[in-house]
Amino acid sequence: MDVILECMTMTSFGGEAKSLALQAIALAREGKFEEAESTLEKTEEALAKSHESHARLLNYDAKNGDLKVTIFLVHAADHLASAETVTVLAREIILLHKEVKKNV
């Protein structure tokens, strides 16, 4: 297994997911809720790809027990974790924007 490649895949898709989630918030702020939801779907797809790489790494380590913790692995895990957090918060912020627009 190419651990660096898996880490870079996690990082790349995690970063994409975070960027998409932030774009979705911006769209909601403009009142473009359908576009925001569509962007969140893309966010979930990118998160899923990042999770797939993470799962492959976990699987590898469970089978072989020799996966070394490197800065690449820590960086990748950080990107995935922050993307998950931003995505959850984006969903809540979008709901708040809907409520505000509805009550104005």
Annotated catalytic residue within 51, 54, 75, 79: 75
With CA atoms as reference, report the closest residue to 55 among 9, 88, 101, 12: 9
With CA atoms as reference, report the closest residue to 36 among 52, 25, 44: 25
Is 79 tagged catalytic? no
Separation between Cα atoms, residue 43 and residue 52, nearest integer Å = 14
Judged by DSSP in three states, 90 sits in helix
* One-letter amino acid for residue 75 of the chain: H
Active site members: 75
